[in-house]
Amino acid sequence: MTPLEKRNLKLGLLFCTPWLIGIGTFLLYPIVSAVIYSLCDYSVLLPPVYIGTENYRELFTDPLVYKSLWNTVVYATGSVFLSSLVSLTLALLLNTKVRGLGFYRTVFFLPSLMPVVAGSVLFMWLFNGHSGLINAFLAILGVNGPAWLADPRFAKLAMILMATWGSGHAMVIVLAGLQDVPTALHEAAIIDGATFWDRLWHVTLPMLSPVLYFNVIMGIIGGFQVFTQAFIMTDATGSPERSTLFFVLHLFNVAFQDLRMGYACALACMLFLIILSLTWVLTKVSARFIVYDR
C-alpha cells in the first residue's frame, strides 16, 4: 500500500467512524446479542445461562408460533395487496391535471401522518359492532355489519382495512414514479391506438415496476412487524380467539410479560430469517417483471 493509499484509507475510515459507531452500537451489537441470548435462558434480571438450542427446539413445537405466523402472513399479504392497490389508484387519480391538485394530494397524504396509536383508537370506534360508523354505513346499504373486532372471522380483516389508512407514503412514492414515466411512450401508444387501460398495462405499470416492487418489499417488512394496532386494539391479548395474535405481539408477550428474553430472541432471529428469505425470493421472482432500463 502506497503512502497515499494509506492516507486515503485513514481519512476514509475517519469519515466513516460516526456511521460505524452508530451501526455498531445500535444495530450490530443488538443483533449479535440477540443471537447469543437466543441460546440462553435469560430473564434480563439474572445472568444468562447457556442452554444450547433448547429455545429453537421449543420454537418449532410451539403452536402459538405457527398461529401467530399464519396471522402475520395473512395480514401482510392482505395489507400489502390492498395498500398497493389503494396507493396506485390514488396516485393515478392525483396524477391527472385537475384544479386544486395540491389540496387533494395533501388530503390523501395527511392520514399517514397520524400516529398508529391514535389511528388504532379511532378505528376501534369506527369498527364498533354496535355503534360504529362503518356498520352504520353498511346498515344504509341494507347490510348487517359484523362485530368487527369481537369476531375472529373479521378481526384480521378489520386490521387489514385499517392498513389502507397509512397508504399515503406509498402513494407519494408511486406518484413520483408516475411523473417519471416518459411522455413519449404514452404519445407513441396513443398514436398506435392504445386505450387508457392498454397504456396502463403496457406502459405505466412496467415503468412503475421498480417503484411498486420497492413498496411491496417495504410493505412486507412492515407487515411482518405489525404490532401497535393489535397491542392497542386487543390490549395485547391478540383476541378474539388469538385471531390477531401477530408474530411480534407474541414475541412481545414472551419477552415482557413472561420475561423469557432468550426465547424471545430466538423468535426475533426466526423473524429476521423469514423476512430475509422472503425479500430474497421476491427479488429473484420479480427480476423478470421489473423494468429498470429506461
Partner 1 sequence: MRKLRHAVRHNQGRRSFLALALASACNAPPSLKGPRTIVYWEKWTNFEGEAIARVVQTFNEKELARAQAEPHYRPIQVERVTVSRIDEKLLVAIAGGEPPDIAGLTTSLLPAYAQKGALLDLTLPFQHAGIERGDFVPVYWDLCNFEGKTWAAPTAPVSLALHFNQRLFAEAGLNPDRAPVTIEELDAFAERLTRWEVRLPGGGVGIRSGYLNDVPATRKRLLQVGFLPGEPPWWLGHWGGFFGGKLLVGSRVTARAPENLRAYTWTQSYSRNLGVEILRKFRSGFGKFASGQNAFLSGQVAMQLQGVWMHNFIERYAPGMQWSAAPFPFPSDRPDLANHSMVEADVLVIPKGAKHPEEALEFLKYATSQEGLELLCLGQHKFTPRATESHAFQKAHSNPKISLFRQLGLSPTAFAAPQTGVWKEYGREMVAAYDAMAHLARTPQEALRDVELRMQSAVDRERRAWLRREPRP
Residues that bind partner 1 (CB under 8 A): 41, 43-46, 49, 58, 63, 128-132, 146-147, 149-152, 237-242, 253, 256-259
Which of helix, strand or coil describes residue 238? coil
**Residue closer to partner 1 (CB basis): 224 or 263:** 263
DSSP letter, residue 70: H
**Residue closer to partner 1 (CB basis): 143 or 276:** 143
From the number of C-beta atoms within 10 Å of its C-beta (0-12, 13-18, 19+), residue 281 rates as exposed
Which of helix, strand or coil describes residue 97? coil
Question: Minimal distance in Å, beta carbon 20 to partner 1?
Answer: 26
Question: Minimal distance in Å, beta carbon 164 to partner 1?
Answer: 22
**Residue closer to partner 1 (CB basis): 79 or 229:** 229
**Residue closer to partner 1 (CB basis): 49 or 110:** 49
Question: Minimal distance in Å, beta carbon 51 to partner 1?
Answer: 8
**Residue closer to partner 1 (CB basis): 203 or 245:** 245
79, amino acid identity: S
Question: Minimal distance in Å, beta carbon 245 to partner 1?
Answer: 8
Measured distance CA(76)–CA(218) in Å, rounded: 11
94, amino acid identity: L
Half-sphere exposure of 59 (CA within 13 A, CB side): 22
**Residue closer to partner 1 (CB basis): 151 or 209:** 151
For residue 40, give the H/E element and its range.
strand 40-41
Question: Minimal distance in Å, beta carbon 214 to partner 1?
Answer: 36
Position of cell 396509536? 117
Q: For residue 154, which of 137, 136, 129 has the smallest C-alpha distance?
A: 129
Question: Minimal distance in Å, beta carbon 6 to partner 1?
Answer: 43
